[in-house]
Amino acid sequence: MRGAKLNEANLFDADFTEADLYEATFAQAKYGAGTKWPDGFVATLAGLVQIDALQELRWRFRTRHPYPSFCLDFSGARFSHADLSEAVVNGINLEAADLEGAELGEASLQGANLRNANLTGAHLFLANLTGADLSGADLTRTYLVGANLKGANLTRANLEGAKLSEADLSGANLLGVKVYAIQLENAIMPDGKKISLFTKLRKFTG
């Protein structure tokens, strides 16, 4: 890649490990945590601009980037109070990420890894979390009205004060879930039945 002109390019997933970048130009090109460089290459000295995790994620779902979401690793990233409404990031890795107060209304997070994530007070109205792994996640006071949680793993998650009215929990794993002050009006429970006055939550939470 000697002499390549990559000015203003988006290089989030590029692997230059074995590349010869002699006299290549990168003025205002953007790179992220996943970009790989040859030994000894200093990106900032080459005029590159490093984009933080939130900016990168916004760029990806805004442009419907074709790179598979299940390859995106944002584990431990900080997205507190970020506006990610309507994001399409199925299969993304957000393990232990900080999403406190984040806006994720109508987002698609099918099969996402949200293990031990902090979603305290997050807004997930009508979000699609089908098959997502939310085990150990903190969902205290999270707004999940109308959310699709079919087949989701919520083992040991904290749902205290969470709002799950009209949510679909068909086939979800609720073992060990904390449910104090939870709201479940008209929600569909793991057995496929709508909650009623006779539903015993202990049947699902153990």
Q: Please state the domain extents for the chain.
A: 1-51, 67-206
For residue 31, give the H/E element and its range: strand 30-31
Looking at residue 34, its pLDDT comes to: 73
Centroid of chain to Cα 51: 18
Looking at residue 171, its pLDDT comes to: 97
Looking at residue 52, its pLDDT comes to: 65
Distance CA 128, CA 195 (A): 20
Looking at residue 54, its pLDDT comes to: 66
Residues facing 163 on adjacent strands: 143, 183
pTM: 0.74
User: Collapsing DSSP states into helix, strand and coil, what is residue 28?
Assistant: coil
Residues of the chain with pLDDT under 70: 44-45, 49-55, 58-71, 197-198, 200
Looking at residue 3, its pLDDT comes to: 82
Looking at residue 41, its pLDDT comes to: 82
Looking at residue 28, its pLDDT comes to: 79
Provide Rg for the chain, Cα atoms: 20
User: Collapsing DSSP states into helix, strand and coil, what is residue 55?
Assistant: helix
Q: Which CATH class is domain 67-206?
A: mainly beta
Closest CA to 133 of 78, 95, 99, 179: 95
Looking at residue 5, its pLDDT comes to: 86
Looking at residue 142, its pLDDT comes to: 98
